[in-house]
Amino acid sequence: MNVKPSTTAVQLKHVNLAYPEVIGIRNQVPLLDSRYVPQIFLDNAASTKPFQCVSNFLQEIQPYYSNIHRGKGFDSSFCTQRYQEARHVVGEFVGWDCERDVVIPVRSTTEGINLLANIIHFAPGQTVLTTLLEHHSNDLPWRRQAKVEHLPVNEKGQLSLDELERHLKASNGRVRVVSVTGASNVTGTILPIHEIAVIAHKYGALVVVDGAQLVPHRQVQMRPHDDPSHIDFLVFSGHKMNCPLGVGAVVGHRNIFDAATPYQPGGGTVSSVHLDQVIWADTPNRNEAGTPNILGLFALARTIQVLESVGMEAVETHERYLTAQLLQGLAQLPQVKILGESNPETIQNRLGVVSFTVEGVHHALAAAILSYEWGIAVRNGCFCAQPLLRHLLKVTKKQDLLCQEEILQGNQHNVPGAVRASLGLHNTAADIQTLVEAVTCIARQQWQGNYKQDVITGEFSPQGFCFNFNDLPGFKTEPSNSFYR
């Protein structure tokens, strides 16, 4: 049975967050009953919508866009200088040591962890220790390089530090890397990254933090290198922190990058090339093959400056209030089960990422109803954390085998999962109130549409209705002169 927490416990004061405009946050979206309503966007753990001022900044800087490094023109010199400045802004944001650390721009957290998995040297027999909480992107990249072991989590998705220590002690120095998420993209649980680092360092392991969820919502500091609680490598993505372009960053030990051959060899990564010999360039160039995402790094640095002006503490206070409101609202519904910790009293240890199931309603159906009947954008499924979802949903071996068989036959209709609402700085108490109202109706089996599931994709859509994107920007053939306007 789902034990409901006390709903009176948390009396947080709501402080209205002052933040610059976020583009498209109140787009009008169509509903099944032909109305149009301003969308309620609660899919921020996947991607956030961009800050208007960062988009404006890109427009201002674009006329000067030119490739960096060896260009001798004005624009190239300008972009080269700004690129270095942007790198600095990113490093400062997470408390790097500018002498000993380096910022490597990447496409995303996934690319960043793949980069680390490829440049960290593993001696035969060395392993990676991670947790059952991880996104696949902090699991699969390591599996190609070393044996990966997963620390268990309890039924609330919490990790035991004693278990971590026991494992490291028993491993006799075999663990080369402890790689953990800063916060779960399923349960919102925030991991004690600095306590984990102290333990991992005691046993000689490097500490990698997947900051994809944590960095956009909390002030994260890597701390000095000589502090045992120091984070060796931090990886995060701009698209989850209101940055308009696909860019992220890896921040960490320059000497480890220097000791490795490039993950992606190519133009820009070398000092000298002969047909039979290559001398690699120093870091960071040796890890930035080809033309980097120059505008992307500019956008990330500007986004960070905007977030700093809003204040990460203010973001945290605002999101905590809304998270407590959401947990308290869902706790009133006996049919709703929250994955992980559902007690609003523990919100200081969690982000505004709330995944839940509704008894008797498929997760894909619930997400479809929220979209088609309420204009609420959420996500459903396993959120790229299948081992964790199976654990939290208590999927039996038999159910799992059946599901695997169906997947092999191309049917996704039975895949276990949940619905996830994830907050961003633009969300309001009214958004949460509407979500709770909508979930209340779903829990009572009240909806209008006649939904059919596509057996192959597992998705539900209402009969006789589909979204029409014809009037939105796209790629249909334009009259050739329309581009000149």
Neighbours of 281 (CB within 10 A): 16
Q: Which of 39, 213, 293, 325 binds ligand PMP (CB under 6 A)?
A: 213
Convert 17-46 to b/e letters by CB count within 10 Å (16 or more is b).
bebeebeebeeebebbeeeeeebbbbbbbe
Taking the complex as a whole, the smallest distance from the CB of residue 189 to ligand PMP amounts, in Å, to: 11
The answer to whether the beta carbons of residues 50 and 38 sit under 8 Å apart is no
**Would you say 106 or 438 has its CB closer to ligand PMP?**
106
Q: Is residue 286 involved in binding ligand PMP (CB under 6 A)?
A: no
Query: Closest distance between ligand PMP and the C-beta of residue 246, in Å?
Result: 8
Spatial separation of the C-alpha atoms in residues 212 and 209, rounded to whole Å = 9
- 380 counts as binding ligand PMP under rule CB under 6 A: no
Q: With contacts defined by CB under 6 A, how many residues of the chain interact with ligand PMP? A: 16
44: contact with ligand PMP by CB under 6 A: no
In angstroms, what is the minimal distance from the CB of 431 to ligand PMP? Answer: 21
Nearer to ligand PMP (CB atom), residue 106 or residue 206? 106
Shortest Cβ distance from residue 272 to ligand PMP (Å)?
33
User: Residues 265-284 vs ligand PMP: string with x where CB under 6 A?
Assistant: --------------------
Q: Does 138 bind ligand PMP (CB under 6 A)?
A: yes
Contact residue for ligand PMP among 126, 137, 187, 287 (CB under 6 A): 137
- Which DSSP string corresponds to 4-45? PPPSSS--PPP-PPP---BTTTT-EEE-TTS-EEE-EE-BTT
Q: Is residue 108 a contact residue for ligand PMP (CB under 6 A)?
A: yes
Chain centre to alpha carbon of residue 191? 15
Catalytic hit among 384, 403, 441, 466: 384
Cβ atoms of 103 and 96 closer than 8 Å: yes
Whichever of 210 and 288 has its CB closer to ligand PMP, that residue is 210
Which of 97, 101, 210, 431 touches ligand PMP by CB under 6 A? 210
Q: How far apart are CA 150 and CA 166, in angstroms?
A: 13
Q: Which of 190, 182, 195 has its CA nearest to residue 138?
A: 182
Cα→Cα distances 124→9, 168, 176, Å: 52, 17, 11
Hunting for tokens 């523990």 — which residue is that?
Answer: 346
- 24-32, 62-70, 194-202, 210-218 -> range binding ligand PMP (CB under 6 A): 210-218
Q: Of the listed pieces 207-215, 312-320, 329-337, 417-425, which binds ligand PMP according to CB under 6 A?
A: 207-215
By CB under 6 A, residue 109 contacts ligand PMP: yes
* Beta carbon of residue 249, minimum distance to ligand PMP (angstroms, whole number): 11
Whether 382 is a known active-site residue: answer no
* Region near ligand PMP per CB under 6 A, out of 105-113, 285-293, 314-322, 410-418: 105-113
| Residue 185 sits in the site that holds ligand PMP (CB under 6 A) | yes
Nearest Cα neighbor of 319 from 474, 400, 169, 428 is 428
Question: Minimal CA–CA distance to 296: which of 103, 46, 427, 25?
Answer: 103
**Amino acid identity, position 18:** A
Cα separation of 269 and 263, whole Å? 10
Exposed/middle/buried for 363, CB within 10 Å: 0-12, 13-18, 19+?
Answer: buried
The two tokens of residue 260 are 């490795």
151 lines the binding site for ligand PMP (CB under 6 A): no
Strands, E assignment, 219-339 = 233-237, 248-253, 270-274, 277-280, 336-338
Task: Output the smallest distance, CB 476 to ligand PMP, in A.
Answer: 29
CB 424 within 8 A of CB 242: yes
Instruction: Confirm or reject binding of residue 217 to ligand PMP (CB under 6 A).
Output: no
Residue type for position 386:
Q
What Cα–Cα distance (Å) separates residue 416 from each residue in 189, 361, 378, 383, 412?
Answer: 21, 12, 17, 11, 9
Nearer to ligand PMP, 138 or 412 (CB): 138
- The contact mask relative to ligand PMP for 226-265 (x = CB under 6 A, - = no) is -----------x----------x-----------------
Closest CB to ligand PMP among 137 and 412? 137
179 binding ligand PMP? (CB under 6 A): no
Q: How far is the CB of 115 from ligand PMP (least distance, A)?
A: 12
* Residue ranges binding ligand PMP (CB under 6 A): 45-46, 108-110, 135, 137-138, 181, 185, 210, 212-213, 237, 248, 384
Catalytic residue ranges: 384
